[in-house]
Structure 1
Amino acid sequence: MRPLAPRALAERHAAAVPRYTSYPTAPHFTGAIGPRQAAAWMSALSDGTEISLYVHIPFCRALCWYCGCTTAVANGRGPISAFLASLDSEMGHAASLLPTSCRVSHLHWGGGSPNILSPSEIRNLAARTYDLFRVADGAEFAVEIDPRFMDAERANAFADAGVNRVSLGVQDFDPKVQAAINRHQSYAQTAHVVALLCEAGIQALNIDLVYGLPGQTAASVAATVDKVLALDPDRVAVFGYAHLPDKIRHQRLIDSAMLAGPGDRLGQANRIARKLVAAGYVRVGLDHFAKPNDPLATGTARRNFQGYTTDRSDTLIGFGASAISRFAQGYAQNAAHLLDYQARVEAHGLGTARGVAMSDEDRLRGHVIERLMCDLSFSASDLRRRFGAAALALIAEASDIVEADQDGLVEPTSDGFRITERGRPFVRTICACFDAYLGEETAQFANGA
């Protein structure tokens, strides 16, 4: 049988599936998990547990029409100050529940735009974090930044706070694409911010790109990559735009007629990948690229709500509206609406609104999905060692998937299952084959390519 061309492959396999930053995925979170359960999970951590902290800053200066993050345009400084007071209370309550010997190995501020904070707010939030938690020497401290609203004072404040890695949102440098998504950001403006960060002493640089945006073509995304390469980032993340206007109201401002179909989206993603690999970057998982000496390329990649990471901790504690925590027992997510979050923190100490407790099967399937998302493979012997006889049924499922594959997307190995390079763009679709919950929810997802 003649293999399908890439465009036909995309049409066949670009299903609407989760991004698999957790398993079970967020649509399966329920109100059965609340602040009492989250507090119990924090209190149950063992002495010396290594943890990670995530802080979600749910504000931006301007609304980008493509964005699916939990954020709002701040109307003055009042809402930000009120939020920071609730955040301080939540962090303090969580710290009182944790064993004092817990050690923080990774910090991440996301949003929204953390650089909406003033320089003094940046320094104060970091100082409060160091006061409440034992942050390990050499811990990675990463922050997401909108280059359109960045200055030297904030760059210096982040450096003073201990930030050592920054992710800059670029998305696309084509002015026509920027106009279509309400995000005007020049290359010169972005390069200026990179210089400010370097002058402040922050050397590790990530850049985020998006394909599948209105008006993009394979040629236009290639031109953007050329400009990105001139900025010399350590890592590049390349996300596929998720157009969900029924769920995300401001995406209705985007002209859907300007969006590429699955075949053209795959062409854009492949063009970006080829250029980055040709420039010497190592491809990590589905959509991340790192320099050969970067820890993401040289170590074991993990996957969490920030995407691909070197964070090795199994415990992630999230603070702020919509932030998600991960424990051995399950996931706990804070209320997304700002006023609801603040009310929950005032009433209970934590902002938890929903979550899910994990079963042993969830842990097995979650491990397999994470390894496929990161390594494109899993080891059958490793599964048996970790999960015992429970792994046998899943290994049999993998064999069935290989048997049913008509397009060369997967193959058996001497010790397990592997996604081929031909199958890499469809890794989420393949992972969905191992998702026991898929089909039970009514949530909308982005296409898998």
Structure 2
Amino acid sequence: MSPTTAQLIDRYSTAVPRYTSYPTAPHFHAGIDTATYANWLTALPDDATLSLYLHIPYCDRLCWFCGCHTKHTLRYEPVADYLVSLHREIDWVSRQLAGRGRITAIHLGGGSPTLLTPTDLLALKALLAERFTIAPDAEISIEIDPNDLDDGRYDAMAEFGLKRASLGVQDFDPVVQKAINRIQTFEQTAAVVEAMRSRGVRSVNLDLLYGLPFQTETGIARTIEQALSLQPDRAALFGYAHVPWMKPHQKMIHDASLPGRHARFAQAQLAAKMLVAGGMAPIGFDHFALPGDSLARAAATGQLRRNFQGYTDDAANALIGLGASAIGQLPQGYVQNITATGEYRKAVDGGSGAIARGVALTQDDRLRGHAIETLLCHFAIGPADLATFGAAGAALHEELLAMARVDKDGLLVLDGETVIVTDAGRPFIRTIAARLDAYLDLGTARHSIAV
């Protein structure tokens, strides 16, 4: 690593949001409630396209690196009870929509949605099909824990209509796996990929992590080699976010076992280089896809988006979050359900929605959110990208031009009136985007570092 690169890492690997929304979740507030959400749903037009996210907040093992809203259970009864309430929330949302909208995407996340029994998974699909209009070509995806699966679950997922499977790999090194409490062999993962593809799943994504305890460049290289041998259609390369103040179970991972920011950067660069050499196109700052994949096509045609699942080609007008802690995104703003499963169940079992907080978007929010998303998706922004915002867009463009003119580190360059993030700047794109965040210094939220 050159001295210049090391200096850039020290200067720009600050703690900033991942910008899967703007404003970011720490700035949601209790002033947005279930009544507000009901009004927003009612205002959706008849021809709206809708994406559903269903959150299953249970796992049969607790991975110590996990930052998700989930809980550990060795019994299925809590899961079955939760599904009763989830069905009731689906009923409540469908009543607000009153037949409006068409479902173009369904994503099951968690937690471990593959915990669901085949009977419960198919009952969930039947209810969705009864309560909503699901497009015949709807993109249906699920997050998979290879340790949960058997032939019955594979067959149920196929009957559900699964088209995209996302497998958490993290790292294949047994030492790293032991340190994060997630034992998962390469052979297990390969068997899941084969089973999914044999049942018609057309796209497989692998989630990979760097910055984990005891990870080394040698170990990461071996994991990437093994991952590429599975011929994934997509890969996500995330930096481990060590936030034990938010996720107490992460205290099981000792700080001394974690690579420093320079080592994290080197691991990320090596993994990305190997994925590209393996035939995958880089998408944004942490995704990769085969050139023929819809995500790569979206990036190439300027249609790439970013939401709570990261980079996406989902162009739906609204994202409807279902389940405890689930977040929704509507034209008017963001909403988030109650996180605690017991309180969530009380709310929906009482016949209402379960919104705990959210935020209504101002015009400045829309402008800055659009600019941040444009930078994160395309690494360039010009006056045409902000033209629909009129004078406010022009003013923000001047702000961006000023950022580029004073940059002394080679992160930004100007091509006429377009601000372009250089190759040197791309690893620090979150820090660059944070300069446009009007809320960043207004709260007390703590974030993970940007590399």
* AA in 1 matched with 2:63: C
The equivalent of 2:161 in structure 1 is: 162
Residues 284-323 of structure 1: CA deviation (Å, up to 9, x unaligned): 0010000000010012211110111110013100000100
- The 1:31–1:101 alpha-carbon spacing in structure 2 relative to 1, beyond 3 Å, is closer
1:4–1:407 CA contact under 8 A, matched in 2: no
SS in 2 for 1:5: helix
Residues 342-372 of structure 1: CA deviation (Å, up to 9, x unaligned): 1121235211100011100000000111111
- The 1:415–1:142 alpha-carbon spacing in structure 2 relative to 1, beyond 3 Å, is farther
1:280–1:291 CA contact under 8 A, matched in 2: yes
Return the offset for 1:439.
1.2
CA distance in 2, matches of 1:215, 1:143: 29
TM-score of the superposition, structure 2-length normalised?
0.97
Q: Is 1:236 paired with 2:235?
A: yes
The equivalent of 1:92 in structure 2 is: 91
CA distance in 2, matches of 1:413, 1:135: 44
Return the offset for 1:403.
2.1
The equivalent of 2:381 in structure 1 is: 378
The equivalent of 1:369 in structure 2 is: 372
Q: How many residues align?
A: 446
The equivalent of 2:44 in structure 1 is: 45
Gaps spanning 5+ residues in structure 2: where? Answer: none
Q: Is 1:335 paired with 2:342?
A: no
CA distance in 2, matches of 1:360, 1:344: 32
The equivalent of 1:129 in structure 2 is: 128
CA distance in 2, matches of 1:13, 1:229: 30
The equivalent of 2:247 in structure 1 is: 248
The equivalent of 1:264 in structure 2 is: 263
1:8–1:263 CA contact under 8 A, matched in 2: no
SS in 1 for 2:183: coil
Deviates more, 1:138-147 or 1:400-409: 400-409
CA distance in 1, matches of 2:200, 2:192: 13
Residues 175-212 of structure 1: CA deviation (Å, up to 9, x unaligned): 00001101100000111111111222213100000100
1:7–1:264 CA contact under 8 A, matched in 2: no
CA distance in 1, matches of 2:437, 2:419: 16
The equivalent of 1:105 in structure 2 is: 104
Residues 171-250 of structure 1: pairs in structure 2 closer than 5 A: 171-250=170-249
Tell me which of 421, 425, 429 is aligned to 1:423.
425
Return the offset for 1:379.
2.6
CA distance in 2, matches of 1:127, 1:348: 21
Return the offset for 1:279.
1.1
Residues 347-366 of structure 1: pairs in structure 2 closer than 5 A: 347-366=350-369
1:47–1:99 CA contact under 8 A, matched in 2: no
SS in 2 for 1:106: strand
Tell me which of 390, 412, 415 is aligned to 1:413.
415
Q: Is 1:304 paired with 2:307?
A: yes
CA distance in 2, matches of 1:156, 1:145: 14
The equivalent of 1:325 in structure 2 is: 328
SS in 2 for 1:192: helix
* AA in 2 matched with 1:199: S
TM-score of the superposition, structure 1-length normalised?
0.97
Identity %: 45
The equivalent of 1:436 in structure 2 is: 438
2:401–2:417 CA contact under 8 A, matched in 1: no
The equivalent of 2:394 in structure 1 is: 392
Q: Is 1:316 paired with 2:319?
A: yes
CA distance in 1, matches of 2:186, 2:133: 39
1:151–1:193 CA contact under 8 A, matched in 2: no
Gaps spanning 5+ residues in structure 1: where? Answer: none
CA distance in 1, matches of 2:429, 2:323: 31
1:10–1:262 CA contact under 8 A, matched in 2: yes
CA distance in 1, matches of 2:221, 2:147: 22
Return the offset for 1:415.
3.9
* AA in 2 matched with 1:420: T
CA distance in 2, matches of 1:36, 1:350: 8
* AA in 2 matched with 1:317: I
Q: Which runs of 4+ in 1 moved over 3 A?
A: none
The two structures, once aligned, show a CA RMSD in angstroms of 1.1
CA distance in 2, matches of 1:314, 1:189: 38
Residues 31-77 of structure 1: CA deviation (Å, up to 9, x unaligned): 11111101110001111011111000000110000000000012412
Return the offset for 1:148.
1.7
CA distance in 2, matches of 1:88, 1:232: 36
CA distance in 1, matches of 2:320, 2:3: 44
1:151–1:196 CA contact under 8 A, matched in 2: no
1:296–1:310 CA contact under 8 A, matched in 2: yes
Residues 119-141 of structure 1: CA deviation (Å, up to 9, x unaligned): 11111111111111111111110
The equivalent of 2:284 in structure 1 is: 285
Return the offset for 1:404.
2.4
Deviates more, 1:194-203 or 1:437-446: 194-203
- The 1:41–1:4 alpha-carbon spacing in structure 2 relative to 1, beyond 3 Å, is farther
SS in 1 for 2:350: helix
CA distance in 1, matches of 2:401, 2:108: 41
Return the offset for 1:99.
4.5
SS in 1 for 2:315: coil
